[in-house]
Structure 1
Amino acid sequence: MKKVGLTYDLKKDYKFKDDDPPDANAEFDHPDTINLIASAIKNNGFQVKKIGNVTSLIDNINNLDVDIVFNISEGLVGRNRESQVPVLLEMAGIPFVGADALSLGISLDKIMAKKIFIAEGIRTPKFFEIKSIDETALNTDHLKYPLIVKPRFEGSSKGLSEASRVANKDELKKQVDYIVNNYKQPALVEEFIRSEE
Structure 2
Amino acid sequence: MNDNGNRKLVLIVYDILSDKPTPDDPELTCTSADNRTEISQARDALKEGGFEVRTLGLRSVNSKVLAKIEEINPDVIFNLCESLYNESRNEMNVAGLFDLLKIPCTGSSPLALGIALNKRKVKQILRAAGLPVPSSVLAILNQPFSLSELEGPYIIKPVREDGSVGISSKSVVNTKEEVEERIKFIHENYRQPALVEEFIPGRELNVSIIGAAEPQVLAIGEIDFSKMPKGEFHIVSYKAKW
TM > 0.5 between the two? Answer: yes
Once the 2 structures are TM-superposed, how far is the Cα of residue 48 of structure 1 from its aligned partner? 0.8
The residue number in structure 2 matching 1:62 is: 70
Q: For residues 57 and 113 of structure 1, what CA distance do their matches in structure 2 show?
A: 32
Query: How many pairs does the alignment contain?
Result: 193
Is the aligned partner of 1:113 residue 2:122?
Answer: yes
Q: Please name the residue that 2:30 is paired with.
A: 26
Does structure 1 retain, via aligned residues, the 8 Å contact 2:91–2:113? yes
Q: Equivalent pairs: percent with the same residue?
A: 33
The answer for unaligned runs of 5 or more in structure 2 is 1-6, 205-242
Residue 52 of structure 1, aligned match among 43, 48, 57: 57
CA-CA distance at 1:161 after TM superposition? 1.1
- AA aligned to 1:5 is L
Q: Secondary structure at the match of 2:82?
A: coil
Matches within 5 A, 1:13-162: 14=18, 22=26, 26=30, 29-53=34-58, 55=61, 57-77=65-85, 78=87, 80-132=89-141, 136-137=144-145, 139-162=146-169
Deviation at 1:18, TM superposition (A): 10
Report the CA distance shift for 1:128/1:81 in structure 2 as closer, same or farther (over 3 A): same
RMSD over aligned CA atoms reads 2.7
Query: In terms of mean alpha carbon deviation, does 169-178 or 185-194 score higher?
Result: 169-178
Q: Secondary structure at the match of 1:80?
A: helix
Q: Which has the higher contact order (CA 8 A, sep 6+)?
A: 1
Asked if 1:2 is matched to 2:8, the reply is: yes
How has the CA–CA distance of structure 1 residues 79 and 47 changed in structure 2, closer, same or farther, with 3 Å as cutoff? closer
Question: Does structure 2 retain, via aligned residues, the 8 Å contact 1:27–1:74?
Answer: no
Shift of 1:25: 5.9
Alpha-carbon contact 1:152-1:188 (below 8 Å) kept: yes
TM-score, normalising length: structure 1: 0.84
What SS class does the counterpart of residue 142 from structure 1 fall into?
coil
Q: Distance in 2 between matches of 1:88 and 1:33?
A: 22
**Alpha-carbon distance in 2 for matches of 1:151, 1:177:** 11
From the two aligned structures, give the one with the greater helix fraction: 1
